[in-house]
Amino acid sequence: MRQIDPDFLALPLRRLADAALQRARDLGAEHASFRLERVRAETLRLFDARLEGAMDADDLGFAVRVVKDGTWGFASGIELTPEAAVRAAEEAVRVAAVSAPINREPVELAPEPVYADVTWVSSYDIDPFEVPLSEKTALLGDWSAGMLGRVDHVSAHLMQVKEQKFYADSAGTVTTQQRVRVHPVLTAMKGDGERFDDMRTLAPPVGRGYEYLTGVGWDFPAEIAEIPELLAEKLKAPSVEPGAYDLVIHPSNLWLTIHESIGHATELDRALGYEAAYAGTSFATFDKLGNLHYGSPVMNVVGDRTAEHGLATIGWDDEGVAGQSFDIVSEGTLVGYQLDRRMALLKGLGRSNGCAFADSPGHVPIQRMANVSLRPAEGGPATEELISRVERGVYVVGDKSWSIDMQRYNFQFTGQRFYLIENGRLSGQLRDVAYQATTTDFWRSMEAVGGPETYVLGGAFNCGKGQPGQIAPVSHGAPSALFRGVRILNTVQEGGK
């Protein structure tokens, strides 16, 4: 049975929380929360099967957040004593007092049930931090060596994170959580005298442990064995002719399009104009709720903080809100946003859906993305059947570069591999491909989504947002999907203009 590490539970969690919360009450705070976190991150880098670098970082500290006279206040510390916790509570109240004269919108929080003394641990089998560095290095080295000789160079990268969090608030909620995530990546590089290119593994980052690298959830040896031949084919592939094509997009590419054009666009702080960092606000403004024709009738998108192995899966968020699943787009219509407690009440949307998160004990929680996913169709087609419906088109596999405007509306995406589709069959790889559209034109052109067997949970460790900048892990599930009449660019020709 997975359990929270005893060394974390041995920290003076309750004493610090009690001291901070009591001092905040004494100073007249209407609401107060205490959060203590330990975030451990380890990264390995190999080049051509040799260890190039290793990093092991450990971030430990606490934060106190208050609402005093309708205004937020925040402070943090690293000294784990009741006295330091009291000082942080006093500082948070002082911050609220300084900010109150310029606060035009008094802070009120949507109600949430009290969760007293509850724990949650993410779904994993082997703690990657209990596996010796030498064993992990040897595995990545073996994988790399298996490709060398057929490609010129191989880079390997393994990221692992363990996040432990204790939360308590003045309403009586007390939660303790632990989650683990890993992301192995191998990239092969090869030149043929005229061209040089690379190709990366499609294995997504996941909320699993080291078992992921040993065959649970992904067949790494099989994927790695295919890459040299696929890369050699890519080097010889013809450059794409620009124009309008039907697209079949594999979930290894579509997850990123979901992230940029739906995930960020439906964060309510962006839609309301409160958040404008990292590519802007959102075209999906609040007046469009319930009436925006976001996509075709086969488009159903959910936000989910409960998906097994999801990178944004939690027990409770940083405002004590339980993880849950909620609709964002239903049959093509915008029906919901990602919320924290303040914005849920501010806009009359009822309960928060658990989207408040800070990436470290030194940062204030901000509105962050859930696992935003496109639902497959029950009994829907296989990827091969979607391809068979296309006379002239492109099959897109794997993510690479992306670009989107400040309203999350005009975008362009490339990928790892592109295949020409002719008369319902794949007829070889293409090069220099990018697809371009507006968000609504793209999703309205989606004619069909694949069945559950085509569904894959993709994602990233490093979604950026806010000023000062924060990062957050997030997953996006998608089936394979068919889009009609999407504009294809030739990236070499466009780059030369």
Residue 491 pLDDT class (50, 70, 90 cuts): very high
Q: What is the DSSP letter of 148?
A: B
Closest CA to 202 of 492, 478, 443, 487: 478
Mean pLDDT of 223-231: 97
pLDDT of 495 strictly over 80: no
Domain ranges for the chain: 6-236, 243-495
d(CA 139, CA 5): 26
Is the Cβ–Cβ distance between 369 and 355 less than 8 Å?
yes
Q: Which helix (H) or strand (E) holds 161?
A: strand 153-169
Residue 496 banded pLDDT, cuts 50, 70, 90: very low
Predicted confidence at residue 497, as pLDDT, reads 45
Indicate whether 384 pLDDT > 70.
yes
Q: What is the DSSP string of 72-141?
A: EEEEEES--SHHHHHHHHHHHHHHHHHHGGG--S-----------SEEEE-S-SS-GGGS-HHHHHHHHH
Question: What torsion, rounded to 10 degrees, do the Cα atoms 465, 471, 475, 481 define?
Answer: 40
- Residue 346 neighbours by CB under 8 Å, 6+ apart: 105, 108
> Rounded to an integer, what distance in angstroms lies between the CA atom of residue 248 and that of residue 238?
19
Q: What is the pLDDT of residues 22-80, one digit of tens each?
A: 999 999 999 999 999 999 999 999 999 999 999 999 999 999 999 999 999 999 999 99
CATH topology of domain 6-236: PmbA/TldD fold (3.30.2290)
| pLDDT confidence of residue 167 | 98
Express each pLDDT in 274-289 by its tens digit. Answer: 998 887 899 999 999 9
* DSSP-derived secondary structure for 293-312: B-S-TT--EEEES--TT-TT
239-254: pLDDT as tens digits: 999 999 999 999 999 9
pLDDT exceeds cutoff 80 at 411: yes
Whole-model pTM over 0.95: yes
219 Cα distance to chain centroid: 22
* 350: three-class secondary structure by DSSP: coil
The encoded tokens of residue 445 equal: 């052109």
pLDDT single digits (tens) 443-485 = 999 999 999 999 999 999 999 999 889 999 999 999 999 999 9
User: Shortest CA distance to 339 belongs to which of 375, 313, 312, 303?
Assistant: 303
What pLDDT sits at residue 194?
Answer: 86
pLDDT tens for 343-380 read: 999 999 999 999 999 999 999 999 999 999 999 999 99
Helices 13-26 and 82-99, interaxial angle, to 10°? 40
Instruction: Write down the pLDDT at residue 1.
Output: 61
Q: What does the pLDDT average to over 197-218?
A: 97
